[in-house]
Amino acid sequence: MKNIPRVNFIYWLLMIIATTTGEIVGNYISRDLELGYKAGSIILVSLFITAIFYQIFYKKSNPLYYWFLIILGNIAGTNVADLICIQLDLGTIYGSLLVVSTLFLILIGIHFLSKSKKPFTEIKVEFLYWLAILTSSTFGTTSGDFLSNDTPLGAAGGTLFLVILLLIFVGLLFLKQISKEVFYWITIVLIHPIGATLGNYISKPQGLDLGNVYTSIFLILLFLTTYFLNKKNNENI
């Protein structure tokens, strides 16, 4: 897809920070602001879809807007996940299965559309890409909450488990056992629950208990600092 920034170590670092930020800000909106899961989901998903159409029809590539969409998608996904698991009472296991099945279908759609030469295919692929980001974010919260709350691993152990799993796939890519495209989506799927478990560990009482507000401010500043330092370094090359 034309508007994806260069995929390298900094890209994945920014993705982890963005997903963690989305998890914490999403919790703040639905819980601390008492907006509720249903209202929060409707508002945030509507904003996300509106922002997607702006991105698709905006002619000039804007990397910072790409990351704005990533964070907004994660905030929306966090609310949708809580709506599915808590308000609809599906729980983290069935909620995760529902969401990951939906994500799988979207990725199949991207795969087949990418090979099509029909009109407006690129627009359809880009829309499905962002829908996959939203769905993977939702899965990140459902599966991250499952690891944090419903297993002995807890938030810290869940984060460590997911990082080890991610490193295994990095090794498989290095050994050329999986393609870059497959690795990209596997990493996207794994990084979202890493953001959820890491966010739970940083912000909640079972971890560092820093709260949603101060953690969100810190992560946003960390993201902007990393982004602009990387941009400056690239300009100096």
Q: Return the residue matching tokens 């050329």.
A: 176
What gap in Å lies between CA 143 and CA 116, rounded to an integer?
Answer: 33
What gap in Å lies between CA 41 and CA 53, rounded to an integer?
Answer: 18
* Predicted pLDDT of residue 1: 59
* Predicted pLDDT of residue 156: 84
Contact 21, 73 (CB under 8 A): no
* Predicted pLDDT of residue 121: 83
Contact 23, 78 (CB under 8 A): yes
The pTM for the full model equals 0.90
From the first residue on, what is the mean pLDDT of each consecutive set of 10 residues in the chain (237 residues)? 80 93 85 82 94 80 87 94 91 94 94 79 90 94 89 88 93 92 92 86 76 85 91 62
Q: Which two tokens stand for residue 189?
A: 């799927």
Check residue 204 and give left, alpha or beta (phi > 0: left; psi -120 to 50: alpha).
Answer: beta
* Predicted pLDDT of residue 237: 41
* Predicted pLDDT of residue 85: 92
Contact 11, 70 (CB under 8 A): no
* Predicted pLDDT of residue 213: 83
Cα–chain-centroid distance for residue 177?
25
